[in-house]
Structure 1
Amino acid sequence: MKAAFIRETGAPSVIQFADVPDPVPGPTEVLVKVGAVSVNPIDTYIRAGAVAMISKFPYIIGADLAGTVESVGSEVKRFKAGDRVWGSNQGLFGRRGTFSELAAVDERWLYPTPARETDAEAAAGALVGLTAHVGLFLHANLAPGEVVFVNGGAGGVGSAVVQLAKAAGAFVITTAGSETSLAICKQLGADLVLDYNSHNLDDQIRAFSLPHGGVHLWFETQREPTLDRTVSAMAPRGRIVLMAGRAARPEFPVGPFYVKDLRIIGFAIFNGAPEEQRAAADKLNTLYEFNRWKPQVGKTMPLSEAAAAHQLQEDATVKRLGNLHGKIVLIPE
């Protein structure tokens, strides 16, 4: 089979696309004919060596996938040949990556794909959908009627947070940096969409949220959180979710934080137990079926262009060059 892999960490140019041996599924694994994969920031950090997750080389890159079951191991109970599935959390902790024509994945990390959902959608919504759902509900206990703020509502995780929070009955404030992104956020259902370049952004957030008591849940997707401004906007007993900014070292406003009884919740989705992520996946599938969750597919490319896709993702995430709308999706040829 063809696969995108690396023999060493480094720039996107280290990614090769060539023939590798077909995977042989173990007793609890499912062999998936890959229909689509998507690119995540964590994929670029692992490839670059910034996150030490690679157990051996050559290393097939990628965490997300969607496709059709080719065969199953002797102990697999939930799937059979011909089923459509999606999943995430591959390429981590010794698990094989997904950027290949075939992937052998333990059934614990796979979920049925809704009939109307395309493989491109399922792959695009995999890691970001799980991250948003686990963060909002398992960790932050979002309740109907609360105010949620999320930076970058047209991005991968941001667009998922907007949709899932609205589906749960929350009031959602989000930001964007271009006319196209602002329009996407409005289409996703955000109650208030603000230009993050605005000189009075914080005043606009407060004007909307204060009648509700302030921001109850601040979902931070940016690499450099600004906790002074965040804490000042929070409602008493509000929650701040941090799931980005690995190298960030912001100043922390201790006094304003504790006198409001606030909480900060940090989490990385790849630490989640398979059962926790499966529960979130089941909810995402139901929301999709009821038109309350629509993964955002952005640029679509052939799998053979994995190096260019990584460069595009890295430029947008790290170098902040241009705007990515939706997820980069790659399709095996």
Structure 2
Amino acid sequence: MKAVLMTAPGVPEVLQLRDVPEPRLTSDTALLVRLKAAGVNPIDTKLRKRGTFYPDQMPAILGCDGAGVVEAVGAQVKQFHIGEAVYFCQGGLGGAPGTYAEFAVVEERCVAPKPATLSFAEAAAAPLVLITAWEALCDRARLQAGQTVMVQAGAGGVGHVAIQLARLMGAQVYTTVSTEEKSALARDLGAAATIDYRTTDPVAEVMALTQGAGVDVSFDTVGGGVLSQCFAMTRVYGDVVSLLAPDPQTDWKTARDRNLRVSFELMLTPMLQGLDSAQAHQSEILHRCAQWIDQGKLRIILSHTVPLAEAAAAHRLLEAGSCLGKIALAIAD
């Protein structure tokens, strides 16, 4: 089969299209999926630059997100059948091969039926960001109807989904953006207010919007100094969730003085630590989100679809930081 191999850590050009053996089922509970598309995520570019979690297993096939059609099933697979369209997030961290390929072997517990209203490219772009936003808002922050939420970078991959999920949960959403185009998208997705962080102090604006109280929940999808910014704009006894490791200069004093509940969200943890029940929970998230997608309540914004052979170009595009929503690799018609 054709696959894009990461031959060494480095620049995008280390991603090379090669012929490799087609994978076989690895367990009685696994599915062989003929991939139609793969999502491209920041974790892919980070692993490409610095090396994978398993540096002794090179070359590697990157890509956690995938969508395609079931080609074969293990003897104990109960929920899926050959020919069914599915989407999932598994592999691609340097151990199990990822989705930058024509086929992938996936455990049943990680798979969900593809939303019928999405193309394969749109579906492939969805799993990681759906799971991340859901776990951050529902599982970590315990978001409730009637609360106020700040979503940092609301036009990004995770951010644009987080705005919609928060609205579906009955929350009022504010978000930061950097262009008029991103502001328009965020408002279209349900944000009550957008803040251009280039020209406006987000903390001052949020405090004005909340009459000095601060938001109930802040969601940091950016990292660096944004985590401290989130502390400063969150109400006393509020929640802050971050996707990134804290900056050495993080203002922990404000977090402590406000009795904030601070959480971290890494949706890869179940995969990295072999937590089967947590992976099954992530599959349930995909099932629920697929229902909302097919009901027209949740959208996946796909800005670019790039051929598999041009994975390096997709990485350059993502690293440029100007895309709305997500990027996907097209693998087959």
Please give the TM-score of this superposition, normalised by the length of structure 1: 0.92
Distance 2:39 2:4 in 1: 13
Distance 2:283 2:37 in 1: 20
Distance 1:124 1:104 in 2: 18
Distance 2:45 2:201 in 1: 34
Deviations 1:226-268 (A, max 9, x none): 4443223211211110112x473233241x3233221110121
Structure 1 position 311, deviation (Å)? 1.8
Task: Indicate the residue corresponding to 1:280 in structure 2.
Answer: 285
Identity of aligned residues (%): 35
Amino acid at match of 2:210: S
* Preserved CA contact (<8 Å) 2:37 2:329: yes
Distance 1:67 1:228, change over 3 A: closer
* Preserved CA contact (<8 Å) 1:32 1:70: yes
Distance 1:25 1:227, change over 3 A: closer
Structure 1 position 330, deviation (Å)? 0.8
Distance 2:144 2:283 in 1: 21
After TM superposition, list the pairs within 5 Å mapping 1:159-308 onto structure 2: 159-210=160-211, 213-244=213-244, 246=245, 248-254=247-253, 256-272=254-270, 273-308=278-313
Distance 1:161 1:34 in 2: 26
* Preserved CA contact (<8 Å) 1:172 1:192: yes
Distance 1:302 1:228, change over 3 A: closer
SS of alignment partner, residue 59 of structure 1: coil
Structure 1 position 50, deviation (Å)? 4.9
Structure 1 position 194, deviation (Å)? 1.4
The answer to whether the aligner puts 1:143 opposite 2:144 as a matched pair is yes
Amino acid at match of 1:175: T
- Structure 1 unaligned segments of length 5 or more: list them: 317-322
Query: Across the two proteins, how many residue pairs are aligned to each other?
Result: 324
Deviations 1:256-287 (A, max 9, x none): 32332211101211113212212222221122
Task: Indicate the residue corresponding to 1:36 in structure 2.
Answer: 37
Distance 1:49 1:258 in 2: 33
Superposition RMSD in Å: 1.7
The answer to whether the aligner puts 1:65 opposite 2:57 as a matched pair is no
Deviations 1:188-235 (A, max 9, x none): 111111111123432221121237x42111000113134443223211
Please give the TM-score of this superposition, normalised by the length of structure 2: 0.92
Out of 312, 316, 328, the position equivalent to 2:317 is 312
Worse-matched range after superposition: 160-169 or 220-229: 220-229
Worse-matched range after superposition: 50-59 or 293-302: 50-59
